[in-house]
Amino acid sequence: MDGKTNEKIERKTKRKTKGGILMGAMDPASTVVGFVGTGVMGASMARHVMRAGYAVRVYNRSRSKAEALLAEGATWDDTAGSLAASSAVVITMVGYPADVEAVYFAPEGILASAKPGTYLVDMTTSSPELASRIARAARERGLHALDAPVSGGDRGAREGTLSIMVGGEAEDLETLRPLLGTMGKQVVLQGPAGSGQHTKMANQIAIAAGMIGVCEALAYAQRASLDPDTVLQSIAGGAAGSWTLSNLAPRMLAGDFRPGFYVKHFIKDMNIALESAAALGLSTPGLALARELYGQLAEAGGEEQGTQALFRLFSDRRA
């Protein structure tokens, strides 16, 4: 029996499943997961991984944002590189593409420090082109890389019900599916490296235009002297129903603009989507309008608020 045959048998043995869960590939009891980025989304996501039995190491630029996880049993690392060197899987959930590039490509960053065979999963909403660059650099170093941005907001992160959009190799995803499944209820492979990010751009384009519609609808209800909460009861369950209408519209009406997803980060996402659409030769007027309106909101001091704060422009405005 030749070496290639042995390798195939070993791979199949490692990938036997029981009830749809991979057995022996990523045993929580013996797998260390490093988590870079413990903000509004990342902290909840890391907590689900911990509760599934994985040993979790964390790094964040502000240690204070990781204190709750440390109190629950996570281990602190002083740098992303030291975390990567000690982890079998490294998950990143940071703010901007520049942050992703820094933690991965710095001289002592994740790519330079991770041991061959390590799995790298960037769950930040970032650039498709950057995701492809990370995947190429990872392959050159004997590492496995997936881009896996998420949708579902702070509530989805807390409840472990995120939608996870994956770009990369199918075999790598199957190895990590049980781990990713602790954070999301839907984990879908979209294609090769960068495809997860492209899918997230489609998601953000849909949200951007939809957010304008929700704000206009509620403003119209107010102007027509209707009870907006009662209106919401009717339209949220009909053809107009959407995640934004059900989850963010009540916050709008309550004047609750605390961030589940920051305006500043949504603007970042829309900028990436506009650039990617332009590169594809696609016109996106709805996206362009949403970006303009969110820019106005940010200039008015709303960049640290949640995306539902767009309603301020409509409820405060008079024709």
**On the CB side of 257, how many CA atoms lie within 13 Å of its CA?**
15
Cα separation, 164 vs 196, in Å, equals 8
Question: What tokens does 82 get?
Answer: 């030291």
Dist CA 129 CA 111 (whole Å): 17
DSSP H/E element including 186: strand 184-191
Residue type for position 138: A
CA 164-218-246 angle, 5° bins: 30
Beta-carbon-side half-sphere exposure of residue 30 (alpha carbons within 13 Å):
5
What are the C-alpha distances in Å from 21 to residues 52, 182, 191?
A: 13, 12, 22
Catalytic residue among 4, 12, 185, 200: 200
Q: Which two three-digit tokens encode residue 242?
A: 């959407």
**Known catalytic residue at 268:** no
Helix, strand or coil for residue 230?
A: helix
Catalytic residues: 200
